[in-house]
């Protein structure tokens, strides 16, 4: 028999808390329909693209009501899409338990390896035993995840074939902004083709950039950032003990800096760079380096040749000159794919690309260290984005810092010594065992999705609000996905997509960082959050993120 760790054994027994609207069971919920909705921008273009699902109303749930159990069992397909986020298994558990409460013979079909599994008709039927083995665990390994983008009518038609064959009442897409964009497109396509199968989305991503008034946070952010903050706290303690290293820590978050901001607030690191601020201030790479050198010198003057700097993964794409360079590189690599593909040696690729770039971008490219030049050439993801997790921004910054400090007589005279260590925290947190918050939130989101399915709703995303007030006060419902849309360029064309929620520079969380960062730069004001606790006092085990606390009060 498969062995379980002591924690996994205890967590199997954890019963996630549900929002009050769902407490009487998924078949005892009343749906209250609110006002019609509008997208965030570009109303006309989005209405034209979504004639069947544009403007759907908000839905709020209330406890009670006697929805009759359906005569036939429900059949629901689930897809885990994109990067892992703690709590995904509990979303499936919420769907599983709720549809079986609605009809005991209902079934969940777990499509393997992400959206590609739906297209290829590869699935596992989730049995009670399989489900129990994964309750309250991290990762997406129950069925696996993937990043295949469903975007062509041919792909949609293959999905329809699979859905018809299995007789699915609904497909739940558990994913980030791109995957939920796809969910809305699928919902619209199905309606246009006369298919009754619902498509419901669930907001997932550790990056925290799928949020709005109705979605206070995406699931997984809480656990991932608590995991990174534990490690950062440990490193700060080590730095303060050894007194000889500056730690450059890159943190995941493909575009938005929510993770870095939250980790900065949880640990009071000496430097917390926020990409959105750097872009808004149109900073050059040299100016960004200055943000790190200033505290290094100030601390050296106090005899502290150590510290911790947090760097968001997406930083390079927010430095305007590098952003322009990446955009041209993306374009050139797509346009001259065949020609470029024939080059073998990295040095040839770098030289050839430098020759193709316009003068401004060529100058930026040539000023970068060779290691970063070659990382900019690595394969793009399926959405055509540069894979920022592969770019060693932490090393780029520390190399430039070291070069500048080498010639700084004043720094040396004050006893300055610079010895960097580099870290990248990303995968360490994406599959961590979900915190109580994520375990509850995800189970609740799965249950909400099941209620929306039973009510025949399509093109909706499951939503739980009022998250800072504890599960006993959580509010549940559904939000039309088109309400999150705007038009953005994709592969040279304007497309309707969910607007990414970046860090806002007037947000309470960012302002809290600004209020404190001068002090945190020079003082050793470190906090040591320690590991996520699952058992014990509520103020430790059920703590929410600082971002949520500051945003929601």
Q: By the criterion CB under 6 A, which residues form the site for ligand FBP?
A: 82-83, 85, 176, 205-207, 252-254, 313, 388-389, 426, 430
Distance CA 111, CA 119 (A): 9
What pairs with residue 424 in β-bridges? Answer: 250
Where does 302-435 have alpha helices with state H? Answer: 320-335, 337-341, 346-356, 359-367, 370-375, 393-406, 409-413, 427-430
CB-wise, 427 or 535, nearer to ligand FBP?
Answer: 427
Q: Say if residues 498 and 175 touch (Cβ distance below 8 Å).
A: no
CB-wise, 197 or 272, nearer to ligand FBP?
Answer: 272
Q: Say if residues 260 and 272 touch (Cβ distance below 8 Å).
A: yes
CB-wise, 176 or 471, nearer to ligand FBP?
Answer: 176
Q: Say if residues 413 and 238 touch (Cβ distance below 8 Å).
A: no
* Structure-token pair, residue 75: 């059949």
- The distance of closest approach from Cβ of residue 186 to ligand FBP in the complex, given in angstroms and rounded to an integer, is 17
Nearest residue to 225 via CA among 312, 143, 141: 312
Q: How far is CA 131 from CA 87, 140, 451, in A?
A: 13, 12, 19
- The distance of closest approach from Cβ of residue 83 to ligand FBP in the complex, given in angstroms and rounded to an integer, is 3
Q: Say if residues 251 and 224 touch (Cβ distance below 8 Å).
A: no
Checking 372-380 for CB contacts under 8 A at 24+ apart, the result is: 372/396, 374/346, 374/349, 374/350, 376/325, 376/326, 376/329, 377/329, 377/333, 377/346, 377/349, 377/350, 377/353, 380/330, 380/333
Distance CA 20, CA 18 (A): 6
- The distance of closest approach from Cβ of residue 539 to ligand FBP in the complex, given in angstroms and rounded to an integer, is 29
- The distance of closest approach from Cβ of residue 295 to ligand FBP in the complex, given in angstroms and rounded to an integer, is 26
Q: What are phi and psi of 432, to 5 degrees?
A: -65, 155
Catalytic residue, chosen from 97, 177, 207, 209, is 207
| 440 flagged as catalytic | no
CB-wise, 253 or 496, nearer to ligand FBP?
Answer: 253
DSSP state of 243: -
- The distance of closest approach from Cβ of residue 474 to ligand FBP in the complex, given in angstroms and rounded to an integer, is 23
- The distance of closest approach from Cβ of residue 256 to ligand FBP in the complex, given in angstroms and rounded to an integer, is 9
- The distance of closest approach from Cβ of residue 388 to ligand FBP in the complex, given in angstroms and rounded to an integer, is 6
- The distance of closest approach from Cβ of residue 207 to ligand FBP in the complex, given in angstroms and rounded to an integer, is 5
* Sequence-separated (6 or more) residues with CB below 8 Å from residue 415: 300, 303, 305
- The distance of closest approach from Cβ of residue 326 to ligand FBP in the complex, given in angstroms and rounded to an integer, is 14
* Structure-token pair, residue 132: 């129990």
**Can you give the C-alpha Rg of the chain in angstroms?**
24
Q: What are phi and psi of 110, to 5 degrees?
A: -95, 110
CB-wise, 308 or 388, nearer to ligand FBP?
Answer: 388
Parallel, antiparallel or unpaired: strands 57-63 and 29-36 = antiparallel
CB-wise, 385 or 533, nearer to ligand FBP?
Answer: 385
Q: Say if residues 251 and 275 touch (Cβ distance below 8 Å).
A: no
**CA terminus-to-terminus distance, the chain:** 47
CB-wise, 426 or 480, nearer to ligand FBP?
Answer: 426
Strands (E), 52-207: 57-63, 75-80, 107-111, 123-125, 170-175, 198-203
CB-wise, 154 or 379, nearer to ligand FBP?
Answer: 379
CB-wise, 260 or 361, nearer to ligand FBP?
Answer: 260
Q: Helix (H, G, I), strand (E, B), or coil: what is residue 428?
A: helix
- The distance of closest approach from Cβ of residue 428 to ligand FBP in the complex, given in angstroms and rounded to an integer, is 11
Q: Say if residues 142 and 96 touch (Cβ distance below 8 Å).
A: no
* Structure-token pair, residue 164: 């018809």
User: How long a stretch of residues is the chain?
Assistant: 553
Q: Say if residues 141 and 130 touch (Cβ distance below 8 Å).
A: no
* Structure-token pair, residue 220: 């997984």
CB-wise, 155 or 181, nearer to ligand FBP?
Answer: 181
Catalytic residues, which ones?
A: 207
């Amino acid at each position: 028999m498969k062995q379980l760790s002591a924690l996994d054994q205890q967590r199997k027994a954890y019963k996630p808390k549900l929002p009050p609207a769902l407490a009487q069971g998924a078949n005892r919920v009343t749906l209250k329909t609110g006002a019609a909705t509008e997208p965030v921008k570009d109303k006309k273009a989005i209405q034209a693209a979504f004639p069947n699902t544009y403007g759907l109303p908000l839905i709020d749930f209330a406890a009670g009501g006697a929805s009759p159990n359906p005569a036939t069992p429900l059949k629901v397909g689930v897809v885990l899409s994109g990067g892992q986020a703690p709590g995904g298994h509990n979303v499936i558990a919420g769907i599983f338990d709720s549809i079986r409460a609605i009809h005991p013979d209902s079934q969940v079909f777990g499509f393997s390896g992400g959206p590609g599994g739906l297209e290829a008709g590869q699935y596992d039927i989730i049995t009670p035993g399989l489900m129990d083995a994964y309750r309250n665990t991290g990762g997406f390994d129950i069925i696996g995840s993937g990043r295949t983008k469903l975007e062509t009518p041919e792909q949609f038609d293959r999905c329809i074939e699979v859905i018809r064959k299995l007789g699915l009442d609904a497909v739940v897409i558990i994913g980030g902004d791109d995957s939920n964009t796809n969910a809305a497109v699928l919902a619209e396509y199905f309606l246009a083709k006369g298919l009754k199968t619902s498509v419901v989305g669930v907001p997932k991503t550790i990056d925290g950039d799928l949020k709005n008034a109705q979605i206070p946070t995406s699931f997984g952010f809480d656990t991932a950032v608590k995991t990174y903050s534990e490690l950062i706290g440990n490193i700060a303690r080590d730095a303060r003990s050894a007194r000889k290293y500056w730690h450059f820590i890159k943190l995941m978050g493909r575009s938005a800096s929510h993770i870095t901001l939250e980790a900065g607030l949880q640990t009071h690191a000496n430097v917390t760079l926020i990409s959105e601020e750097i872009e808004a201030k149109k900073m050059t790479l040299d100016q960004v380096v200055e943000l790190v050198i200033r505290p290094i010198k100030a601390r050296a003057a106090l005899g502290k040749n150590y510290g911790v700097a947090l760097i968001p993964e997406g930083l390079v794409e927010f430095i305007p000159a590098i952003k322009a360079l990446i955009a041209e590189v993306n374009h050139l690599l797509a346009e001259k794919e065949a020609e470029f593909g024939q080059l073998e040696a990295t040095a040839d690729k770098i030289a050839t690309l430098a020759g193709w770039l316009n003068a401004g971008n060529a100058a930026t490219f040539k000023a970068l260290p060779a290691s970063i030049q070659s990382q900019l050439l690595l394969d793009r993801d399926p959405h055509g984005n540069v894979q920022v997790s592969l770019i060693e921004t932490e090393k780029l910054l520390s190399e430039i810092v070291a070069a500048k400090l080498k010639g700084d007589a004043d720094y040396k005279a004050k006893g300055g010594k610079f010895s960097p260590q580099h870290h990248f925290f990303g995968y360490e947190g994406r599959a961590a065992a979900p915190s109580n918050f994520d375990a509850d939130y995800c189970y609740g989101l799965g249950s909400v999705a099941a209620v929306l399915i039973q009510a025949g709703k399509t093109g909706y995303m499951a939503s739980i609000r009022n998250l800072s007030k504890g599960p006993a006060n959580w509010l549940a419902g559904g939000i039309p996905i088109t309400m999150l849309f705007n038009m953005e360029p994709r592969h040279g064309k304007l497309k309707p997509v969910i607007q990414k929620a970046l860090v806002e520079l007037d947000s309470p969380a960012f302002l809290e960082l600004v209020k404190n960062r001068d002090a945190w730069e020079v003082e050793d004001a470190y906090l040591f959050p320690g590991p996520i606790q699952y058992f014990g006092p509520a103020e430790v085990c059920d703590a929410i993120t600082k971002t949520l606390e500051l945003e929601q009060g």
